[in-house]
A and B are shown apart, each in its own frame.
Chain A
């Protein structure tokens, strides 16, 4: 499967994940939403798509380096790895500019769980695309 298929799966998985993130936070109440529903649904969809594409592209280009055989496990690893790197860099930003960047444990736990969810959704979509690819060819 090529990069194009991974990007396509990444966009769809990312948008679905964005909505899942919104729904999850609405249920857990970890962060009280400050924006309106209309504004948030757009930002969560677009933000989710960007994260999905970045994860899908990383999976397509660097997936061979991930020490797992299953595509879902590899996607979960890639997604969680990207999130952890971003979070660790956020720790450094927080140390450099503590008045600007704050980190909260509840949001961190929710974010890591959502990163795993993004990987699972993306992995399932890529696997489905792989299965259907020979039929479409």
Chain B
């Protein structure tokens, strides 16, 4: 760790890495945010970048995918991921689908990006803010279906992966991840019911 809150998931030479929280988390509805910073990045033709992964792979928290542009995620069975990576430009993708150019939020050396991802129902929304470009943000909306069904469980391992080039196509980016916050948002029904009942009780008490 660069400090107790900053993970250096890659550190230069072509690498393939993953990091997973040891306890599975609910994935029916959730919100996750983190800061991604490329400390050194020289774009090459091989994708270099980071994935935020939800997975129920047989390897559990020890799962790691392929390098060579696979971002440490490609080939990982029973997994879904948000990929943020650089090739000619910065791209954002869900799963293994080809990415779309963000335009607004670019991975670049020493330019932190603040990523927020919300999953509600079957919809995934992603916002990426670049503090250097206030008022300009990437907003992506993905129809991803039921993660619980796709991953075979209402809970999954949460973590990150990254890769940085190949032995012959040297990228060697250093990626830092910090300020991660994952919250399994409670089902709206439970909180709404509780709140409605409390309000009803207070009104009845006040009317007595």
Bound pair: A and B? Answer: no
